Amino acid sequence: MEHHVHRPAVLSSAPSVVRFFVSLSIACLASSSETMSPGKLRQLGEVAFSSQRYEEALSYYGEAVKAEPENSTNYYKLFRVHQRMRRQNDALDDLTKAIQYTPDNVEYRKQRGKMYMSMGKCGEAAEDYNTVSGLTEEAMRAHSCKISIENAKMFHEREDWQNAFNAVNKALSFTDTSPELLMMRAKAALELDDYYSTVMDAGKVIKLDANNIDAYQLRGDAYFWLGEHEMSKNHYREALRSDPEHAGCKNGHKLIKKIDKKAKKADDAAAAGKHEEAIAMYEEAIGYVPNHLNFVRPTLQKKARLHSKIGQHDRAIEIAQNLLEVDDESADGYVLLGEVQLAAEKFEDAVRTYKQGYEETEDDVFKEKIQQAEAALKQSKTKNYYKILGVPRNADSKEIKKAYKKLAILYHPDKNMDNQEEAQKKFQEVAEANEVLSDDELRGKYDRGEDVFENQGGGGGGHGGGHRFHNMGGHHFFFHH
């Protein structure tokens, strides 16, 4: 459905006083031109046209038309000015009137044929070319373009989008400035999930016709499916300024606001540690538009990580595997699956996942990931600092600090007078684990399977030359509750 929107003409950036005097001078010229001959008016119009004073030229030629309304030359002169001013529809009207009074003029017909081609009206162009010159190269091009457009329209009606795209693409090889054809290709591209092509073609239409509301909607739709919601809203809003009741833009803008609001609430809940609440809201946001892959994919990644954090490892792994089934060439997908497998202590699975990710994507990120997973596998058979603190491998600093404080109180020798020796051993393990995992540099070494302390033999296995908490008897250890 076409939406015709009236916009007031944009004024020049010149000061209002200057605009006033320009208008006044044109009015004076129009008044004095009443006594001039048509030939003189055309002559003055030509001078103004050559000096790029187009409004003045239009005034002279307009007076010439009044004096000689059936003189095709007057309309041709107007055509040249309107064409230079890029007023294509006005220029076409002028040329059609010129041909009306001089139908055998070859130059007029060729010019109109050229205009028709630029506007994507290839059938009309073919008629003009055939009238004046027969089967020329221009006529053959116009005819081929006409056939392509007819095919494109037929495929559009059938919703055969690939063939529609191919046909209109061929038509645009003859004329690449037709808003109608560009819109047809943009629509077909959108249906084929080729969103970047839609963005480009709809953008070209907007440059050619800033009042084309449907082009704003198409571009907004494409940005939406690309997951670029802010850009999408900007296009919808721009269209709604001109047509507040445009259904497509209105509904699109409303949907994005609804999705983004729910996703923001979920993000805030996750940041506040309300993981189950965040999971529920992510599910709700996904439910608004479950086929929106570029929104659903990153949202499911967040959801999987939250399931992993609260110990729902099977669910986290299931989500990650499902994401990989949708896109098995996604580096992010393999990273996520390996990450939640590590958190579930499925170390061998994580190693396999990261190796497969590297084979499928050749992304260098997996070199470090493989190293980390192999280190975790090795550590699982010796001393595992994460296990000592009872936290997952993807735990953040707050979780590590919280776990450490809890265990430090539990195993503090002063709290275990009946079993001080065993408590001392546990307490030292907890302190050592915290020392490593609360330090970003040491934790990085540990995760990569490197020696954490000097004189340490083998990766991730405790101090080789004693421990700073050894034999402290618990009397010099302080912490805050």
List Cα–Cα distances, 293 to 31, 196, 276, 317, 326, in angstroms.
Answer: 65, 15, 23, 19, 9
CA angle 12, 14, 19 (to 5 degrees): 80
Q: What is the pLDDT along the chain (481 residues), one digit of tens a residue?
A: 444 433 333 334 444 544 554 455 555 555 555 678 999 999 999 999 999 999 999 999 999 999 999 999 999 999 999 999 988 889 999 999 999 999 989 999 999 999 998 888 998 998 898 888 766 888 888 999 999 999 999 999 999 999 999 999 999 998 888 999 999 999 999 999 999 999 999 999 999 889 999 999 999 999 999 999 999 999 999 999 999 999 999 999 999 999 999 999 999 999 999 999 999 999 999 999 999 999 999 999 999 999 999 999 999 999 999 999 988 888 999 999 999 999 999 999 999 999 999 999 999 999 999 999 999 898 888 788 988 999 988 889 999 999 999 998 898 888 887 787 888 888 898 999 999 999 999 998 888 888 887 655 444 444 433 333 333 333 233 323 3
- Which distant-in-sequence residues (6+ apart) come within 8 Å of 393 by Cβ? 342, 343, 376, 386, 447
Residue 119: burial class (beta carbons within 10 Å; 0-12, 13-18, 19+) = buried
What's the topology of domain 385-448? Helix Hairpins (1.10.287)
The structural domains of the chain, with segments of one domain joined by +, span: 38-103, 143-257, 291-381, 385-448
Q: What is the pLDDT of residue 421?
A: 82
CATH topology match: 38-103 vs 291-381? yes
Residue with tokens 């037929």: 154
Angle between helix 106-118 and 122-133 (nearest 10): 160
Residue with tokens 């003045």: 56
Residues 6+ apart with CB under 8 A from 84: 49, 54
Architecture of domain 291-381: Alpha Horseshoe (1.25)
Does the model's pTM come out above 0.75?
no
pLDDT tens, residue by residue, 439-449: 999 998 888 88
3-state DSSP percent of the chain in helix, strand and coil, to 5: 75, 0, 25
Structure tokens at 106: 């070859």
Q: In Å, how far are 26, 74, 85, 312 from 51, measured between CA atoms? A: 15, 19, 13, 77
C-alpha 95: how far from its chain's center? 42
> Which class is 143-257 in CATH?
mainly alpha
Q: Give the CA-trace dihedral at 41, 44, 49, 54, to 10 degrees.
A: -70
What CA–CA distance (Å, rounded) separates 411 from 390?
14
The CATH code that applies to domain 38-103 is 1.25.40.10
CA distance 176 to 384: 65
Distance CA 269, CA 281 (A): 9
